[in-house]
Amino acid sequence: MTPDNTEPNPELLLQLVEMKMPFGKYQGTVLCNLPIHYLEWFARKGFPEGKLGVLLQTIYEIKLNGLEDLLKPLKKK
């Protein structure tokens, strides 16, 4: 999202289908493929700082709201 949270950031969405989890139980898993229960754990415990935290929080919100279809066209690239 942009700083004022009014427009989606296409680059952020692209990173969700390309970037892999750098640590933990799901290390090496593409962020958009992380299970919701793992993202819920972060939501309870706190998301990491920085870019990774923003991406994890974004994919959590996408999955929570049933918007995963937004990522389908990006996965095909």
Sorted by where each begins, the domain ranges of the chain are 10-75
Length of the chain: 77
Distance CA 35, CA 1 (A): 22
Distance CA 27, CA 34 (A): 10
Across the chain, which has 77 residues, the per-10-residue mean pLDDT values are 58 94 96 97 97 97 93 81
Query: Residue 30's beta-bridge partner residues?
Result: 20
Contact predicate 9/1, CB 8 Å: yes
Give the pLDDT of residue 70. Answer: 86
Distance CA 19, CA 47 (A): 16
